[in-house]
Amino acid sequence: MAEYGIHHVISNFSKPSIFEVIGHDNLASSLRAAFLHLFKVLAENNPMRYGLIYRNFDELYVLVDSIFQYLHLRLKGGLFTETFYSLKRIPDPRSLDVSRRKVALWVICAVVYPYLQRQLEEVYKNMRDDHSRGSLASKGTKNKLALLYLKVYPVYHFLSETSVLCYYLAYALGKSSYHSPLMHLTSTTLTHLTMIDLSDDAWKQHIPKEQHKKLSNTIWNLVNVFIGGITLSISVGSFLTQFLNWWYSREGNTTNLTPLPVPPPPKKWPCDIPVDICFICKKSRSNDTALASSGFVFCYPCIFKYVEVNRECPITGYKSSLNQLIKLYHQE
């Protein structure tokens, strides 16, 4: 029932260049990395307030991004990164119809699928670490499955990356109108925005008339303004980041951008245990070892076993790996 047509002439659609297409693909991952960095800095400065968000960043980002992209697709006809590059989606070259189901499918392909890929890679890295330490040596169904996964994942990863590259090549050479396997799967192509798309009432052409009545025009207008506001903030934010990057590199300070300022120590000690006692064994610390993700110090055997099993800091809960253990040597 939610089907409707976008009234354009097919011959008016212009195919975006391969650079625009790669540009918008890269922008999506850069934005996620920027937000992750922002919450990392916030969590380091205020673990009580932002620690929980940072620990569950991936899941929260997928949730917020899914809602945002769903509304963006419905009101603007494209993902945020696509409209940023003045592009929009053509649902199907033969019908030009789009349903809410199709928009949901687009969100799954653009937001949920990359999230699942990141999770699969994370699992692979953890298993590879376990394997290199010999933890998967004993015979058991779980370990056998883990070893199988270690063999299968690189093949899947290789095929997935190769197919993306092949699609880019075919698109650049004009052999395919789809620039990625997922766009092919959903029969979706991209085109440039028109003057009508850039007008304030552009959302009306993407939302069918009977749905205007269900949710009054005022509410649709407000949602449109809200989405526009977020888009503008991200655009201005991206510009400022680029500008600051240029400003610092201009003065030859490029190396100073990477080391972060050292965050202040917590004002209140976050547990009841005295500073010189190990949080895990509750005894006087031996073989002092700092965990780089949080800065707290434990006994080496205690924190090694804890991080190996839980992969997080026992006090702050920050994601941690064995590579982040730093042995401390005191001069007597």
Residue from 302, 307, 313, 315 touching Zn ion (CB under 5 A): that is 302
Q: Whole-number minimum distance, CB 305 to Zn ion, in Å?
A: 10
Looking at the DSSP bridge assignments, the partners of residue 297 are 290
Determine, following the binding rule CB under 5 A, whether residue 325 of this chain makes contact with Zn ion: no
Residue 66, number of CB atoms within 10 A of its CB = 17
Tell me which residues in 36-55 interact with Zn ion (CB under 5 A): none
Only one of the segments 98-106, 113-121, 289-297, 298-306 lies at the binding site for Zn ion (rule: CB under 5 A); that segment is 298-306
Distance in Å, CB of 272 to Zn ion, minimum:
16
Element at 190 (helix H, strand E) = strand 189-192
Closest CA to 280 of 247, 235, 312: 312
Distance of CA 328 to the CA centre of its chain: 34
Least separation, in Å, of the C-beta of 295 and Zn ion?
17
> Interaction with Zn ion in 211-270: which residues (CB under 5 A)?
none
Indicate whether 110 belongs to the interface with Zn ion (CB under 5 A).
no
Tell me the site size for Zn ion, rule CB under 5 A.
5
Complex with Zn ion: residue 30 or 284, whichever CB lies closer: 284
Tokens of 135: 């933890």
What character string, x for contact with Zn ion (CB under 5 A) and - otherwise, covers 177-206?
------------------------------
Check: CB of residue 39 under 8 Å from CB of residue 54. Answer: yes
The window from 74-82, 141-149, 162-170, 278-286 that contacts Zn ion (CB under 5 A) reads 278-286
- CA pair distance 3, 91, nearest whole angstrom: 11
Handedness of CA 22, 28, 30, 31 (dihedral sign): positive
Q: Looking at beta carbons only, is 90 or 313 nearer to Zn ion? A: 313
Q: Contacting Zn ion (CB under 5 A), which of 127, 207, 299, 315?
A: 299
Smallest gap from residue 285 Cβ to Zn ion (A): 6
**Own/partner pairs, 159-166, CB within 8 angstroms, 24+ separation:** 160/117
Tell whether residue 278 is a contact of Zn ion (CB under 5 A): yes
Residue 22 binding Zn ion, by CB under 5 A: no
Taking the complex as a whole, the smallest distance from the CB of residue 325 to Zn ion amounts, in Å, to: 13
Distance CA 173, CA 175 (A): 6
280 near Zn ion, rule: CB under 5 A: yes
The reply on whether position 281 binds Zn ion by CB under 5 A is yes
DSSP line for 18-80: HHHHHHHHHHHHHHHHHHHHHHHHHHHH-HHHHHHHHHTHHHHHHHHHHHHHHHHHHHHSS-H
Residues that bind Zn ion (CB under 5 A): 278, 280-281, 299, 302
